[in-house]
Structures are given as C-alpha cells and as structure tokens.
C-alpha cells in the first residue's frame, strides 16, 4: 500500500459512519486529512511529494484544512504562499486573500481533500477576479466524486497524491 494511504489507515484517519461533507452530500465514510496534516511526519511526506507537482508562480491554499499543507509546500518549493478565505473577514483589513498577488501570474493550489471541487472552485474564482490564473490543484486525497471533472471544465488539472480507493482498500 502507498505510504500516504498506509498512514491514513493506520492512524485512524478514515472513519466509517454517516457524515455530511462540505459539499452538502452525505457519505458513509470520512477521510480526516486535516488532523493527519498536523503530524510532522505525514506533513513532510505529503509536502515533499506535492512540491514536485507545483508549476505555478506561487502556492495557494484555502483556509483552514489546507493551510499547514500550503505552508509546508511553500517551504519545500521556496514559492510564496497565498491563503484564500472561505468568507471575508469582518474586521481589520477585511481581506478575502492573504499574500501578494500579481496580475497575470499563475497559481497552483494545494488541498487536503477534494470531493466535488466546489470549495476549491470558489477560491479559484476569487483569484481569477484579481487577474490570477490557476493551472492545477494538488490534493492529498481525492474522493473521486467529481472534483477532477469539475476542475477540468475550468481548464485546471487535478493531481492527487492518493485516491480514496487506495485508502479504503487498506482499511478493509
């Protein structure tokens, strides 16, 4: 089994039961990559693998789950990090995006888990409105429920370090 899938299974990051996902869909399993990314061993493994797939001028991550992953990939590549908020701050500078964007640059997103891709597509739209293009998304786990196809419709490639079939295969 793949090192990433093996870690997720052995450390209990795949849960079975009834769960509501960020897309609003329900699922009989949940892959808790967020807590796995808080483990330095796991974070080092995935950030090194992801760094090899970064082609943009900068790395971007959506708050909250992908931020540790984004920081680690930024350190591996030496490329600046952009953090896209899900909601606009209601205080301070009220920013939707943290980090310096330059019109015309290309961004590669990193993400913890993708299902339909709706969360990442909202973030892509926010950057597109600022004149920044996204070339690809590198995700730790793809649940294989439409994210790849939805991103491809926008001209964005999805690269997954592991897919859900690999993770579920190891947990049975």
Residue with more model confidence, 64 or 44: 44
Distance, CA of 134 to CA of 69 (rounded, Å):
17
- In the chain, at which residue ranges do the beta strands (DSSP E only) sit? 14-20, 26-31, 58-62, 81-84, 97-98, 106-114, 133-142, 157-163
- Residue 13 forms part of a structural domain: no
Task: Give me the half-sphere count of Cα atoms (radius 13 Å) on the Cβ side of residue 71.
Answer: 10
Distance, CA of 25 to CA of 2 (rounded, Å):
27
Length of the chain: 172
- Residue 4 forms part of a structural domain: no
Q: What is the pTM of this model?
A: 0.93
- Residue 169 forms part of a structural domain: no
Instruction: Give alpha helix (H) positions in 129-163.
Output: 147-152
Give the tens place of pLDDT for each residue, 49-86: 999 999 999 999 999 989 999 999 999 999 999 999 98
Expressed as residue numbers, the domain containing 153 is: 38-162
- Residue 148 forms part of a structural domain: yes
- Residue 45 forms part of a structural domain: yes
At 156 the pLDDT is: 98
- Residue 10 forms part of a structural domain: no
Decide if 97 contacts 127 (C-beta within 8 A). yes
Whether the predicted pLDDT of 11 surpasses 90: yes
Whether the predicted pLDDT of 160 surpasses 70: yes
At 137 the pLDDT is: 98
Whether the predicted pLDDT of 138 surpasses 80: yes
- Residue 21 forms part of a structural domain: no
Residue with more model confidence, 16 or 6: 6
| CATH number, position 81 | 3.40.50.2020
Distance, CA of 118 to CA of 67 (rounded, Å):
17
Whether the predicted pLDDT of 98 surpasses 60: yes
Distance, CA of 17 to CA of 162 (rounded, Å):
21
At 169 the pLDDT is: 78
Give the tens place of pLDDT for each residue, 109-122: 999 999 999 999 99
- Residue 3 forms part of a structural domain: no
Percent of the chain with pLDDT over 90: 77
Give the count of domains, the chain. 1
Q: What are phi and psi of 9, to 5 degrees?
A: -70, -50
């Amino acid at each position: 089994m793949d090192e990433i899938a093996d870690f997720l299974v052995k450390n209990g990051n795949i849960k079975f039961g009834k769960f509501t996902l960020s897309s609003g869909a329900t699922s009989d399993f949940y892959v808790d990559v967020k807590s796995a990314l808080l483990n330095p061993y796991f974070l080092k493994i995935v950030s090194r693998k992801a760094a090899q797939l970064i082609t943009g001028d900068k790395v971007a991550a959506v708050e909250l789950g992908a931020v540790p992953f984004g920081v680690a990939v930024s350190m591996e590549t030496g490329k600046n990090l952009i953090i896209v908020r899900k909601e606009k701050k209601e205080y301070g500078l009220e920013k939707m995006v943290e980090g310096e964007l330059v019109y015309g640059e290309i961004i590669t997103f990193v993400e913890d888990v993708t299902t339909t891709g709706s969360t990442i597509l909202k973030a892509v739209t926010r950057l597109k409105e600022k004149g920044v293009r996204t070339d690809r998304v590198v995700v730790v786990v793809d649940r294989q429920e439409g994210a790849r196809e939805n991103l491809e419709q926008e001209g964005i490639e999805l690269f997954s370090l592991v897919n859900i079939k690999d993770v579920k295969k190891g947990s049975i």
